[in-house]
Amino acid sequence: MAQNRRKKNKDLSKKIAEERIILLFELAEQNFKTHPERTKRYVELARLIGMRYRVRLTRDQKRRVCKHCYDYLVPGNNCRIRLKDSMVQTTCFKCGKMSRYPYYERPEKE
């Protein structure tokens, strides 16, 4: 019986952690123009929550964070995004590092 309760608590805590991560990314997006220093803290907290509760960031969330300096990326403001050889190439202006993600062209429907 104790194990069943633990599992429910674990599931609940993971769900709460996911909600908090989503909220922190929304705050980072809202406050980027007015308080850019806060956005890095929001991303840092989201990563820490994810690691603590073993919750993965979604693909969109991962691509909004520099893998090297963990800065929140906003295309055109602090990063550059280019499409090169079936890769999405994101360059962070703060640390100068590049991240590459593959993309595949969708087959056209007839």
Domain with 25 in it: what CATH number? 1.20.5.420
Residue 3: the pLDDT is 62
Residues in binding site: 66, 69, 92, 95
Task: Identify the residue whose tokens are 């595949």.
Answer: 104
Domain that holds residue 77: 2-102
pTM: 0.83
User: Quick one: CA torsion of 59, 54, 70, 78, rounded to 10 degrees?
Assistant: 30
Handedness of CA 54, 60, 64, 67 (dihedral sign): positive
Confidence grade of residue 2 (pLDDT, cut at 50, 70, 90): low
Residue 65, φ and ψ in degrees, nearest 5: -125, 135
**Residues 57-102: pLDDT tens digits?**
999 999 999 999 999 999 999 999 999 988 999 999 999 999 999 9
User: Per the structure, how many domains does the chain have?
Assistant: 1
Residues in binding site for Zn(2+): 66, 69, 92, 95
Handedness of CA 67, 70, 74, 76 (dihedral sign): negative
Q: Average pLDDT in the 1-28 region?
A: 86
